[in-house]
Amino acid sequence: MDASAIFEGLNPEQRRAIETVRGPVCILAGAGSGKTTTITRRIANQVAKGAFSADQILAVTFTDKAAREMRSRLEQLGAGGVRARTFHSAAFAQLRWFRGEPPGRVLASKALMLRQIGNTLPMPYKFRPAVDLATEVEWAKNRRLTPETYRRGLNGHEPPIPDDLMARVFREYERRKEASGAIDFEDLLGLAIKLLEDEPEALAQVHERYRAFTVDEYQDVNLLQQTLLELWLGDRDELCAVGDDYQSIYAFTGATPEYLLALPQHFPNATVVRLEANYRSTPQVLGLANRLVPRLPERALGRLRGGLQRRGDSLPGRGSADARRRPSAAQGARRLDVTHGCVRSPAPRPRARLGGDAASGPGRT
Ligand SMILES: Nc1ncnc2c1ncn2[C@@H]1O[C@H](COP(=O)(O)OP(=O)(O)OP(=O)(O)O)[C@@H](O)[C@H]1O
Ligand SMILES: [Mg+2]
C-alpha cells in the first residue's frame, strides 16, 4: 500500500481524521468537502498501519452507486479487500450466510399489492394512490412499527387515510406478502436484526469477523439501519461516521441526522472533525445549475452560492451535492421513485445492490 497516496493533497482536518486509525471518529462535513475521500483514505490507513486487516473492516453506505464508488476508491488505495456495501446488501448477505439460503424473494415494489388492498377500502379512500399507502407502510416499518403498534406509534404523524383503515391495510399487506413468500426491503433489515438479536452465536461470529465500521452519508441512517449497526458494533467503539446534517434526503423513510449529531455524546472519546472547504462546486456548476433551474427560489440560490468553494477542482462526477441541496427537482425525483416503489433510487433493489459476493460469509458481507 502506497502511504504517500493516502496522505496526498489533504487539508489538516482531513489528515487528522485519517491519522486517527483507532476509536470513534465523527466527521461533520458539507457537500463536496472530501467526506468520501477522507473515510476511504482513513480505511486504507487503518490497514496500512496494521490497526485492522482489510477483512476486519466493513464500510457501509446507502446506495449501490455509493458502495461501488467506495469499492473503487478503496481498490485504488490498495485496500480492495475491504467490504463496502449498502446496509441492505450486508443484511442480505448475513441472512444468506447464517440461513444457508437467500432470505426470500425480495419485493421490488409494494405498490401492486397495495393497489389490490386499496381497492377493498370504502369510498372515498378506495382511490387513494397505492404509492401513498406504500410510502406509509415504509414510514412505519422504517420506525420498526408493526400493524399492531402502528397507531400508537403515529405521534402526530398524519396517515394518508384514517389510521384504523391504514392499520388494516398494513396488516393485510403483511399477511399477503408473507403468504406469497416474499419479503420487502425493510424486512431484509428487520430479519437481519432479528437474527443477530435471537442468535448470540451468529452475533459473536459477526463480531469476530468485523472489528471496525465506517458509515458514509450517516445523516441518512434510519432506525432500522441504526439498530443493525449497533448490533454489528456491540460494545465496541470502532466506528467512523461521516455525514452532513443538512444533506439528509431520506427523511421520508425515517432517516434522521440526529444519530450523526448525537455521536459525540454517545462516544465522549470520539474524535470530531469538521470539513469545511468545498472542493466540488465551481462557478461552472453554479452557472449550469442556475441555467437549468432559472427560477430557483432566492433561498436555495443563496445556498448554492453559500456552498461555493474555497478551492475548486473538477465538475461533479455524479449528481452534484449542491444540486442535492435543492429541495425541488432532485428530491422530487427521489420521492417519485420511492413512492412508485419500483425504481427506488435511494433504497436500491437487492439484485443490483448485492454486488455479486453476497453469499460468501457473514464476514464477507
Ligand atoms: N484536500 C483536498 N484538496 C483538493 N481536492 C480535494 C480535497 N479533498 C477532496 N478533494 C476533491 O473534492 C472532490 C469531492 O470529494 P469527495 O467525493 O470525497 O467529497 P464528498 O464530501 O464525499 O462529496 P459528496 O457530498 O458529494 O458526497 C473530489 O474531486 C476530491 O478529489
Ligand atoms: Mg461522498
Give the pLDDT of residue 187. 97
Q: Tell me which ligand sits closest to the C-alpha of residue 318.
A: 1
Query: Ligand 1 atom closest to Cα of 10?
Result: 1
Say which ligand is closest to the CA of 216: 2
For residue 26, the cross-strand partners are 241, 272
pLDDT tens digit sequence for 89-125:
999 999 999 999 888 899 989 999 999 999 999 999 9
**Residue percentage of the chain with pLDDT more than 70:** 74
pLDDT value of position 103: 87
Residue to mutate (ligand 1; options 280, 282, 284, 304; most atoms within 8 A of CB): 280
Q: Point out the ligand 1 atom lying closest to the alpha carbon of residue 69.
A: 17
Which tens digits make up the pLDDT trace of 338-362? 222 222 233 333 323 332 233 333 4
User: Any residues with Cβ below 6 Å from ligand 1, and which?
Assistant: 9-11, 14, 29, 31-37, 279-280, 313-314, 321
Ligand 1 centroid – CA 287 distance (Å) = 20
Residue 306 has pLDDT above 80, yes or no: no
**Residue with CA nearest ligand 1 atom 8:** 34
Q: Which atom of ligand 1 is nearest to the CA of 11?
A: 1
Distance, CA of 186 to chain centre:
12
Q: Whose CA is nearest to atom 19 of ligand 1?
A: 34
Q: How far is the CA of 351 from the centre of ligand 1 (A)?
A: 29
User: What is the whole-number distance in angstroms between the Cα of residue 36 and the centre of ligand 1?
Assistant: 7
C-alpha cell of 282?
Answer: 465551481
Atom number of ligand 1 nearest to Cα 14: 1
Average pLDDT, the chain: 80
pLDDT beyond 90 at 249: no
pLDDT at position 280 is 76
pLDDT at 347: 35
CATH fold group of domain 3-99+188-314? Rossmann fold (3.40.50)
Name the percent of the chain lying above pLDDT 90.
Answer: 64
**Among candidates 331, 287, 339, 335, which has minimal Cα distance to 308?**
287
Q: Is the pLDDT of residue 292 over 80?
A: no
Is the backbone of residue 242 left (phi > 0), alpha (psi -120 to 50) or beta?
beta
User: Beta strand 182-183 with 105-106: parallel, antiparallel or unpaired?
Assistant: parallel
Among the bound ligands, name the one nearest to the CA of residue 246. 1
The yes-or-no verdict on residue 253 having pLDDT over 60 is: yes
pLDDT higher than 90, residue 332: no
Ligand 1 atom closest to the Cα of residue 275 is 21
**Left, alpha or beta for 158 (phi > 0: left; psi -120 to 50: alpha)?**
beta
- Closest-approaching ligand to the CA atom of 40: 1
- CA 34–ligand 1 middle distance (angstroms): 3
**pLDDT digit string, tens, across residues 162-200:** 999 999 999 999 999 999 999 999 999 999 999 999 999
The pLDDT tens digits of the residues spanning 17-60 come to: 999 999 999 999 888 899 999 999 999 999 999 999 999 999 99
Pick 111-183's CATH classification: 1.10.10, 3.90.380, 3.90.1570, 2.30.30.
Answer: 1.10.10
For ligand 1, atom 2, the nearest C-alpha belongs to 10
Bond before 124 cis per omega within 30 degrees: yes
Range of lowest pLDDT (151-165, 268-282, 296-310):
296-310
Residue nearest to atom 12 of ligand 1 (CA): 279
pLDDT confidence bin for 328, thresholds 50/70/90: very low
Task: Calculate how far, in angstroms, residue 180's C-alpha sits from the geometric centre of ligand 2.
Answer: 38
Every domain of the chain and the residues it spans: 3-99+188-314, 111-183
Burial class (CB in 10 A: 0-12, 13-18, 19+), 182: middle
Q: Distance (Å, rounded) from C-alpha 222 to C-alpha 133?
A: 19
Q: Is the pLDDT of residue 313 over 50?
A: no
Residues in the chain: 365
